[in-house]
Amino acid sequence: MKKKFKDTEIPLPPFWGGYQVIPLKIEFWQGRPNRLHDRFLYTKLDENDWKIERLSP
């Protein structure tokens, strides 16, 4: 498929729609039994850079 559509757009049925989701912030959460959960917030700064903050514990 990569070779077949290398230089062209992949055709889609006319009834297909959708949304492009471009995140500006993403939070990762990992629960722990002792309630000291790990939380990290990634904030997009520009095309290739993200700021990473630890929210807790």
Task: Tell me which residues are annotated as active site.
Answer: 35
Q: Are 15 and 31 in contact (CB under 8 A)?
A: no
CA distance linking residue 37 with residue 28, whole number of Å: 10
Distance CA 27, CA 47 (A): 18
